Chains A and B, each alone.
Chain A
Amino acid sequence: MTGAAVWRALGTQVRLLVREPSRLGLARRAVERELAEIDLTCSRFREDSELGRLNSAGGGEHEIGPLLAEALAAALRAARMTGGAVDPTVGGAMRRIGYGCDFSLVVSGSGKFELAPLPVPGWRQIHLDAERGRVRVPEGVELDLGSTAKALAADRAAARARGAASCGVLVELGGDIAIAGPAPEGGWPVLVTDDCTAPLEGPGQVVHLTGGGLATSSTTVRRWSRGGVWLHHIVDPATGLPATGCWRTATVGAGSCLDANTAATAAMVLGTEAPAWLTARRLPARLVGAGGGALAVAGWPR
């Protein structure tokens, strides 16, 4: 028997599961506090967030708090691990393609829209001293911690809820899943599909997870059109444009939600190179092509 709660935060859906229903309230308060801190620190869409102030500072060296330092370190680590396929300097590119505000405010348009490739500034331009809490950002570089901050939030929230409730927990944050503490016998059953807002009984594959993290990246959600061209939120840093890889959805399992999210996003950008990249890192994955066919990689259950 488990307890469950669903609500919205960080512009997406939050689902919390606890193995002891009587401790759901304790766990939920812990998750809510964590997500509020992440939002106030890492949101690109809030002018009063620490990241918002950093982006509007116009470059230079700045003092930052420990949570932003951790989120930046996670984003830069993701960039290093993926050879730059996941890059926190995509903020400007996001704005250029029309995703410069909360997605609920992004509107499609039919006006003329130029889509010239323009590589992002690149993560190597960012110099972080996490221990001293200082970061140097060149002028004109806009940071977007996007998916890595969300996955980091899921990991941190799961650990915090586990500590508060003293039982096994699962945190689902916009389709990214972090597990802390003991899972139910046989694992937590999770539906893997294109859209995190799909109903639990919807189409997809059900897997049972005992720990670690699972994340899905997809071009079938957060889409909008400009000048007759459909755009999505997964930007290829090499072009500054929405990735045009061969997968519409990538789901990856890893030791943490952060690593799973990093690998899933990288798989979308890497395209045909993704299966070998994932296999070499022993990251089980489910890659869905544009036509709907699924490819199981590195031990993903068929």
Chain B
Amino acid sequence: MPAQPAESALRIARRDRALKRLENLTAVCAGGAVGLAAMLGMLAAGSFPGHQVRAPARQAGASGSAPPSAGGTDNDGADGGEAAGDTGQGAGDQPVPVEQPQPPPGGFFGFGGGGPVAVSGGS
């Protein structure tokens, strides 16, 4: 037996409300997904090698002769202010390399004979 008009209108109204709730739920899910993706993207960007963060330039009395900053994952050292990434090994985290006198080359002392031809002494 065909449904009465009043009963049909009620069913239509229920269907419309359900569709509306579904629409709202879809929008909330989509927004959440976008937010989650953005958050994961930011975490990934900070975790992969190649990302650069700005570190303070090394202080030195002789700015023109200061050594280059420590090497890192994508460090071209172009401006002295860019340092390695935040992988836990960035320049900001590493001990600053200390300049040292260079030791002599291997085999510095020979085993020749003969009398001296030069003198090293105080002057």
Contacts and interface: CB of A to CB of B under 8 A. Distances in A.
Interface residues of A, number: 84
A189 B114 contact: yes
A262 B100 CA distance: 10
B14 to A, nearest CB: 79
B119 A190 contact: yes
Contact of A281 (B100, B105, B123): B100
B88 interface: no
A131 interface: yes
B121 A175 contact: yes
A13 B118 contact: no
Interface in B39-64: 60-64
Chain B, interface residues (CB within 8 Å), range:
20 to 34
A77 B110 contact: no
Interface in B87-123: 98-105, 107-123
Contact of B120 (A72, A196, A220): A196
Contact of A187 (B62, B110, B120, B121): B110
Majority-rule SS of B interface residues: loop
Contacts of B110: 183, 186-188, 208-210
A207 B64 contact: no
A212 B112 contact: no
A251 interface: yes
A132 B107 CA distance: 39
Majority-rule SS of A interface residues: mixed
A12 to B, nearest CB: 5
Interface string B48-84: 0000000000001111110000000000000000000
7 contacts: A187-B110, A188-B118, A201-B115, A202-B119, A216-B120, A251-B120, A259-B101
Given A73-B64, A130-B64, A283-B101, 4 more contacts: A177-B118, A189-B112, A191-B119, A208-B109
Interface of B: 60-65, 98-105, 107-123
Interface of A: 2, 4, 12-13, 15, 17, 69, 72-73, 76-77, 79-81, 123-132, 150, 170, 172, 174-177, 183-198, 200-202, 204, 206-222, 249, 251, 253-256, 259-260, 262-263, 281-284, 299, 301
Closest 6 CB pairs of A and B: A186-B112, A187-B110, A218-B122, A130-B64, A255-B102, A174-B123
